[in-house]
């Protein structure tokens, strides 16, 4: 039974929230930043690529923040900076991740696997811990949304390193959700199937065999656009009685 007296009375309303998006300079992160800006929230575009973060923030009317999510000292400093500049953090979107390293089980090097684990799991943990500590200390009834992948639940040959890291992100989501509920902090995940970011679109042009192969696995018949993913993140950030879920945005791929 949760002691409800320890939970702050109400969360900050949409339109008045301070939202920190990691990997905000990337394909999906940029769309997520735009979606929160569209409802009137203040958005901090955080990314290890400082130039890309600055360019994205300036184009969207957001604030840029250079941070490597795998560096605990840099993460702590970044969180302090955001709170000093904006007063609090209401929403953390753990979107930063590496998708580029793949390999079959019998071939992948341990160092490549370690890289994925460092960014996708440890980085997500480090950001979550730092922001959760801050929200709890400040009495902020916040929300955290992790960007997972349905690959964590449905394997594709050659993608297991990435996919197992996303299974861990789903587990981390439930871990954080159960422990932070007493502070009124909700933690959820959005798990997309393949998303046509500029990078993916360039690597898999319309009509290419690779695009067709993915589309054939998706009952709704097409890969996701970034605009299919971002609204799910905004929804979970404001869904006051939902915590610990990983919401598939996959055109039904998990059904097949």
Active site residues: 162
In this chain, which residue has its C-beta nearest to ligand NAD? 26
Q: Which two tokens stand for residue 211?
A: 């695009």
Cα–Cα nearest to 175, from 192, 190, 189: 189
Q: Which is nearer to ligand NAD, 124 or 243 (CB)?
A: 124
Q: How far is the CB of 54 from ligand NAD (least distance, A)?
A: 12
Q: Which two tokens stand for residue 8?
A: 């702050």
Residues forming beta bridges with residue 246, ordered by sequence position: 189
Q: Within a 10 A sphere around the Cβ of 149, how many other Cβ atoms?
A: 28
Q: What are phi and psi of 98, to 5 degrees?
A: -110, 130
Point out which residues bind ligand NAD (CB under 6 A): 22-23, 25-29, 47-49, 52, 67-70, 95-99, 119, 123, 147, 149, 192, 194-195, 197, 199-200
Cα(204)–Cα(115) distance, integer angstroms: 24
Q: Which is nearer to ligand NAD, 18 or 65 (CB)?
A: 65
Q: Which is nearer to ligand NAD, 70 or 164 (CB)?
A: 70
Q: Specify the residue for token string 């923040």.
A: 65
Q: How far is the CB of 89 from ligand NAD (least distance, A)?
A: 16
Q: How far is the CB of 166 from ligand NAD (least distance, A)?
A: 7
Q: Which is nearer to ligand NAD, 173 or 197 (CB)?
A: 197
Q: Within a 10 A sphere around the Cβ of 5, how many other Cβ atoms?
A: 5
């Amino acid at each position: 039974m949760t002691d409800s007296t320890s939970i702050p009375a109400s969360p900050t309303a949409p339109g008045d929230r301070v939202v920190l998006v990691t990997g905000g300079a990337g394909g999906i992160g940029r769309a997520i930043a735009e979606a929160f800006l569209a409802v009137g929230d203040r958005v901090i575009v955080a990314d290890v690529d400082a130039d890309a973060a600055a360019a994205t923030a300036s184009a969207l009317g957001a604030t840029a923040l250079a941070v490597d999510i795998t560096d605990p000292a840099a993460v702590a400093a970044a969180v302090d900076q955001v709170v000093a500049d904006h007063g609090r953090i209401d929403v953390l979107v753990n979107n930063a991740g590496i998708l580029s390293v793949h390999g079959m089980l019998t071939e992948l090097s341990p160092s490549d696997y370690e890289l994925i684990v460092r960014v996708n799991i440890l980085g997500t943990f480090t950001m979550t811990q730092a922001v959760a500590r801050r929200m709890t200390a400040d009495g902020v009834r916040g929300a955290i949304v992790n960007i997972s992948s349905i690959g964590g639940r449905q394997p594709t040959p050659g993608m297991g390193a990435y996919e197992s890291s996303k299974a861990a992100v789903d587990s981390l989501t439930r871990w954080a959700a159960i422990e932070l509920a007493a502070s009124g902090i909700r933690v959820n995940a959005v798990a997309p199937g393949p998303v046509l970011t500029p990078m993916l679109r360039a690597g898999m042009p319309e009509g290419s065999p690779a695009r067709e192969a993915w589309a054939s696995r998706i009952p709704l018949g097409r890969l996701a656009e970034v605009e299919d993913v971002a609204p799910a993140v905004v929804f979970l950030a404001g869904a006051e009685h939902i915590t610990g879920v990983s919401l598939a945005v996959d055109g039904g791929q998990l059904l097949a």
